[in-house]
Amino acid sequence: MKRSFKALNISCQGCANTIMVSLEDEFGDLEVDLSQDPKVVSLDIKDEEVENFKAQMKELGFEVVGEA
């Protein structure tokens, strides 16, 4: 199911690229919307994978603060 998450500390295309490259093997294609604040990361994800996604985002330095 396609879901979108608000995340902190994403400030530029470089941050977006880091997220997409680091997580694409596990989560597939991710989209990062830099036009919103906080920034929004969208992906197809199952409910049981959400906590793992949030943990991996936090390890990269981007805290997920809710759904968009």
Q: What is the pLDDT of residues 48-65, one digit of tens each?
A: 999 999 999 999 999 999
Residue with tokens 């992906």: 43
pTM of the model: 0.95
Report the pLDDT value the prediction gives residue 12, as an integer from 0 to 100.
97
User: Which residues have CB under 8 Å from 40's CB, separation 6+?
Assistant: 4, 5, 6, 7, 32, 33, 68
* pLDDT at 49 (0 to 100): 97
Which alpha helices (H) appear in the chain, and where do they start and end?
A: 13-27, 50-59
| Domain 2-67: CATH architecture, name and number where available | 2-Layer Sandwich (3.30)
